[in-house]
Amino acid sequence: MAQARELYEDATRLHDAARALLADHARALEAVRAAHAPLRDASVAEELASLPLGRLKDVTEGRLRLAAVQAAGFTSVGEVHEASRHRLRQIPGVGAQTADQALAAARQLARAVGETVSVRIDVDRPEPRTTALVTALYRLVEAGPDLTRAVQTAERYEKSLDELLPAARPATGRLRLAFTGRHRRDAARAALAGLRELTARAAEADVPLRLAQATADLLREPASEIEPWVDFEVRSAEYYSRLAEICAQPTDLAAAEGFVPSEVAERVHAQPLDDTHRRVSLRGYQAFGARFALAQRRVVLGDEMGLGKTVQAIAALAHLAAEGHTHFLVVCPAGVLINWTREIGARSTLRALPVHGPDRRDAYAEWRERGGVAVTTFDVLHTLPDGDGDGDGDGDGDGGPPPGMLVVDEAHYVKNPDTRRARSVAVWTARCDRVLFLTGTPMENRVEEFRALVRHLRPRLVAELGERPGTAGPHAFRRAVAPAYLRRNQKDVLAELPGLIQVDAWEELSAADRDAYRAAVAAGNFMAMRRAAYADPETSAKLRRLRELVAEAAANGLKAVVFSYFRDVLTVVREALGDDGSGPVFGPLSGGVPAARRQRLVDDFTAAGGHAVLLCQIEAGGVGLNLQAASVVVLCEPQIKPTLEHQAVARAHRMGQVRAVQVHRLLAADSVDERLLHILRNKNRLFDAYARRSDTAEASPDAVDVSDDGLARRIIEEEQTRLALRPRDAPEPSHRL
CB atoms under 10 Å from CB of 347, counted, come to 22
Question: In this structure, is residue 63 part of a structural domain?
Answer: yes
Range of the domain at 691: 500-722
Residue 644 lies in a domain: yes
Residues 488 and 519 in one domain: no
Q: Are residues 96 and 113 in the same domain?
A: yes
Is residue 520's pLDDT more than 60? Answer: yes
Terminal-to-terminal C-alpha distance of the chain:
82
Q: Are residues 519 and 418 in the same domain?
A: no
Shared domain for 505 and 648, answered yes or no, is yes
The mean predicted confidence, pLDDT, of the chain is: 83
Residue 667, class by beta-carbon neighbours within 10 Å (0-12 exposed, 13-18 middle, 19+ buried)? Answer: buried
Are 259 and 180 members of one domain?
Answer: no
Q: Are residues 351 and 382 in the same domain?
A: yes
- Say whether both 115 and 21 belong to one domain: yes
- Assigned domain for 383 exists: yes
- Give kind and range of the element (H or E) at residue 10: helix 2-49
SS3 393: coil
Statement: residue 732 has pLDDT above 60: no
**Which of 633, 621, 689, 693 has its CA nearest to residue 660?**
633
pLDDT at 467: 58
Whether the predicted pLDDT of 636 surpasses 60: yes
Alpha carbon 718 to its chain centroid, in Å, reads: 33
Specify if 733 maps to a domain: no
602 — pLDDT class (breaks 50, 70, 90): confident
Neighbours of 144 (CB within 10 A): 16
Residue 647 near residue 584, CB atoms below 8 Å: no
Mean of the pLDDT values across residues 701-726?
Answer: 71
Domain closes at, from 493, 515, 534: 493
Average pLDDT for residues 588-610, to the nearest whole number?
82
Q: What is the CATH number of the domain that holds 558?
A: 3.40.50.300
On the question of pLDDT at 581 being above 70, the answer is no
Confidence of residue 686 (pLDDT cuts 50, 70, 90): very low
Based on the fold, state whether residues 531 and 488 are members of the same structural domain. Answer: no
Cα–Cα distances in angstroms (integers) from residue 33 to residues 38, 47, 119, 129, 386, in the given order = 9, 20, 12, 12, 53
Is residue 730 predicted with pLDDT exceeding 70? no
Residue 655 forms part of a structural domain = yes
Q: Is the pLDDT of residue 174 over 90?
A: no
pLDDT, position 239: 84
Residue 227 belongs to some domain of the structure: no
pLDDT at 140: 92
Q: Give the model's confidence band at 690: pLDDT under 50 very low, under 70 low, under 90 confident, else very high.
A: very low
Angle, CA 285 vertex, CA 627 and CA 251 arms, to 5°:
75
> pLDDT at position 289, please?
95
Query: DSSP letter string over 628-653?
Result: TT--EEEESS--SSHHHHHHHHHHHS
With beta carbons less than 8 A apart as the criterion, state whether 478 and 444 touch.
yes
pTM reported for the whole predicted model:
0.67
The reported pLDDT for the residue numbered 705 is 41
Say which CATH number the domain at 392 has. 3.40.50.10810
Q: How much of the chain, in percent, has pLDDT values that exceed 90?
A: 43
- End residue of a domain, out of 464, 493, 522: 493
The residue among 435, 469, 493 that closes a domain is 493
- The per-residue pLDDT for range 249-283, each reduced to its tens digit, is 656 678 888 888 889 999 999 999 998 899 887 88
Whether 737 is covered by a domain: the verdict is no
Q: Does residue 309 form part of some domain?
A: yes
Residue 610's pLDDT is 85
Q: Flag whether pLDDT at 595 surpasses 70.
A: no
Q: What pLDDT is recorded for position 499?
A: 61
> Is the same domain home to 636 and 717?
yes
The whole-number pLDDT of residue 164 equals 92
**Is residue 679 domain-shared with residue 603, that is, in the same domain?**
yes
Q: Sort 125 into a burial class: Cβ within 10 Å, 0-12 / 13-18 / 19+.
A: exposed
pLDDT tens sequence across 71-90: 999 999 999 999 998 999 99
- Which residue from 363, 366, 355, 280 is spatially nearest to 317, judged by alpha carbons? 280
659 pLDDT band, cuts 50/70/90, is low
307 and 372 fall within a common domain: yes
Give the chain's domain count: 3
- Rounded to the nearest 10 degrees, the angle between the axes of helix 146-168 and helix 182-204 is 160
> Within this chain, do residues 681 and 563 fall inside the same structural domain, yes or no?
yes
Q: Which residues, 6+ apart, have CB-to-CB distance to 639 below 8 Å?
A: 565, 618, 645
The pLDDT confidence band at residue 241, using thresholds 50, 70 and 90, is confident
Backbone torsions φ then ψ of 669, nearest 5 degrees: -70, 150
- Pick the closest to residue 651 from 549, 559, 547, 527 (CA basis): 559
